[in-house]
């Protein structure tokens, strides 16, 4: 795991009187901690890439967009010497820039080359796989229906591989209205961090409308997204409250809140930090589910558990639905440094 563990944010010591936070039926207050949760292999690799680049080349190291969608990670790396920019035009000519885990379009690579930037590509290998699918299907004259969300960096990067041939379909409603030419060969691919269930609902509508629609060769929703959704589905039916640690712009974290609610959680909230937890959320709550998105360092989850213990939720059961041991090698530009 990377070194981004940083100081514990201050946890508020406000406490409700115990009588107000006791389990409604007098039963025990408990926490169900989802596993897997937190960092995936692609995030670990991307964060380490920035840290290694700073160590080896010295600050500043420019990073195009947030390396991963987590406030704490971005703030911590900024303190270490990373400079986050929105566009390669903000990077001084000839300087070194890291591309984020979400991937970039060929245009961004070309702009960086034009400005003689030294690039380190931290695109998750599972995103690169989707880019390669898009390139191959475009070369084979397919119309590609990309299931994903407009404006997300991953979607911008993937669409940039074949802008003329990719049509974005954001949800089941858009699947009902999207138009394609009758003569076109059709395939769907997807963003890696979507809700599995909503994506299948979208694809099923597309299949009914377009019987010629082909499936991608393998799942595009990545293993980490799927595993975190399976784990939260397991705890949600028994949870009076689910807390998801993750940032507002983190697609996979936001999906975890939705999935928790769809699978029976009585309430679910996303927080970046333990200090954002509102004590009114604990009224009439006996069981709290806790999970975190793929871009979230574990110390932020531990802060949430510490705060929960402070409110009387001291019993923590980890609910394990999968083991993960995938690791990716560092971006090639860093591997050769040893």
Q: Which residues are catalytic?
A: 154
Q: Annotate each residue in 112-141 with x if it binds ligand F3S (CB under 6 A) or - if it does not, as one string.
A: ------------x-xx--------------
For ligand 2E7, the binding residues in 226-255 under the rule CB under 6 A are 250-253
Q: Give the residue carrying structure tokens 């900024």.
A: 78
158 is a contact residue toward ligand F3S (CB under 6 A): no
Angle (CA) 224-227-230 rounded to 5° is: 150
Q: Report the chain's C-alpha Rg in angstroms.
A: 21
Q: Which of 101, 186, 256, 277 binds ligand 2E7 (CB under 6 A)?
A: 101
Q: How far is the CB of 94 from ligand 2E7 (least distance, A)?
A: 27
Q: Dig out the tokens for 260 from the structure.
A: 């928790």
> What is the distance between the alpha carbons of residues 29 and 23, in angstroms, rounded to a whole number?
6
Q: Which of 29, 158, 192, 195 binds ligand F3S (CB under 6 A)?
A: 192
| Nearest to 161, CA basis, from 129, 186, 193, 187 | 129
What backbone phi and psi angles, to 5 degrees, belong to 171? -165, 175
251 is a contact residue toward ligand F3S (CB under 6 A): no
DSSP letter string, 150-199: TT-HHHHHHHTTSTTTEEEE-SHHHHHH----TT-EEEEEE-TTS-HHHH
160 is a contact residue toward ligand 2E7 (CB under 6 A): no
> What is the distance between the alpha carbons of residues 273 and 299, in angstroms, rounded to a whole number?
10
* Choices 14-22, 35-43, 144-152, 199-207 (CB under 6 A): range interacting with ligand F3S: 35-43
Q: Which of 119, 192, 199, 227 binds ligand 2E7 (CB under 6 A)?
A: 192
Binding footprint of ligand F3S on the chain (CB under 6 A): 40-43, 101, 124, 126-127, 192-193, 222, 224-225, 252, 294
Would you tell me which residues interact with ligand 2E7 (CB under 6 A)? 42-43, 68-69, 101-102, 124, 127, 154, 192-193, 250-253, 293-295
């Amino acid at each position: 795991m990377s070194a981004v563990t940083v100081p514990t944010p201050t946890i508020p010591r406000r406490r409700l009187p115990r009588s107000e936070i006791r389990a409604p039926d007098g039963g025990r207050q408990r926490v169900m901690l989802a596993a897997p949760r937190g960092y995936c292999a692609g995030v670990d690799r991307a964060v380490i890439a920035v840290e290694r680049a700073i160590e080896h080349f010295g600050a500043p190291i420019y990073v195009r967009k947030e390396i991963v969608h987590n406030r704490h990670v971005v703030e911590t790396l900024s303190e270490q010497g990373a400079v986050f920019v929105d566009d390669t035009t903000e990077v001084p000519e000839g300087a070194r820039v890291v591309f984020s885990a979400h991937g970039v379009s060929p245009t961004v690579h070309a702009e960086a080359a034009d400005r003689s930037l030294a690039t380190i590509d931290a695109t998750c290998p599972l995103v690169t796989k989707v880019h390669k699918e898009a390139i191959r299907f475009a070369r084979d004259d397919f119309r590609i229906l990309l299931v994903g969300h407009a404006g997300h960096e991953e979607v911008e990067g993937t669409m940039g591989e074949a802008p003329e041939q990719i049509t974005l379909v954001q949800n089941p409603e858009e699947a009902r209205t999207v138009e394609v030419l009758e003569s076109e060969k059709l395939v769907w691919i997807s963003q890696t961090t979507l809700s599995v269930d909503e994506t299948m609902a979208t694809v099923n509508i597309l299949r009914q409308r377009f019987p010629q629609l082909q499936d991608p060769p393998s799942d595009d929703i990545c293993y980490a997204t799927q595993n975190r959704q399976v784990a939260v589905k397991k705890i949600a039916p028994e949870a009076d409250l689910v807390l998801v640690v993750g940032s507002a712009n983190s697609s996979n974290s936001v999906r975890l809140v939705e999935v928790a609610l769809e699978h029976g959680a009585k309430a679910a909230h996303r927080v970046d930090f333990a200090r954002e937890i509102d004590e009114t959320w604990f009224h009439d709550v006996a069981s709290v589910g806790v999970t975190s998105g793929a871009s979230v360092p574990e110390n932020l989850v531990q802060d949430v558990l510490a705060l929960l213990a402070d409110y009387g939720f001291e019993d923590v059961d980890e609910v394990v639905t999968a083991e993960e041991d995938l690791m990716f090698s560092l971006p090639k530009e860093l591997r050769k440094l040893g």
